[in-house]
């Protein structure tokens, strides 16, 4: 019997602003919390709630992990293979 593989994770990319936010994180606990949130979003990009807005740009979503105290604002590529993180709060 062939091995079962789970669904592929989406690749995570950061906007320039989000990349600067990541660079500013110095706490190991915050890095760990962010990593956990990024894994959740990469496994299931639809986990976040849609943010109402106009149709001029990508549909933004917001994922909040109240336990780890992390908030991500992101959008998903058309083929659902890339999650682009636009904003991070840790």
Residue 41 in any domain: the answer is: no
> What gap in Å lies between CA 21 and CA 41, rounded to an integer?
18
Residue 9 in any domain: the answer is: no
Residue 57 in any domain: the answer is: no
What is the residue-level pLDDT of the chain in tens, covering all 90 positions?
455 556 788 999 999 999 999 999 999 999 999 999 999 999 999 999 999 877 777 889 999 998 889 999 999 998 889 999 999 998
Task: Report DSSP letters for 18-73, one per residue.
Answer: HHHHHHH---HHHHHHHHHHHHHHHH-GGGSEEPP--TTS---EEEEETTTTEEEE
Residue 51 makes CB contacts below 8 A (sequence gap 6+) with: 59, 60, 61, 62, 73
Its domain, for residue 79, covers 63-90
Q: Are 86 and 17 spatial neighbours (Cβ–Cβ below 8 Å)?
A: yes
The model's pTM = 0.85
Residue 70 in any domain: the answer is: yes
């Amino acid at each position: 019997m062939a091995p079962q593989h789970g669904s592929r994770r989406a690749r995570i990319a950061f906007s320039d602003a989000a990349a600067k936010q990541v660079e500013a994180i110095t706490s190991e606990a915050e890095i760990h919390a962010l990593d956990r949130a990024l894994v959740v979003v990469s496994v299931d990009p639809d986990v976040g709630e849609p943010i109402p807005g106009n149709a001029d740009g990508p549909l933004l979503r917001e994922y909040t992990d109240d336990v780890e105290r992390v908030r991500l604002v992101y959008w998903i590529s058309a083929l659902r293979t890339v999650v682009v993180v636009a904003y991070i709060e840790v």
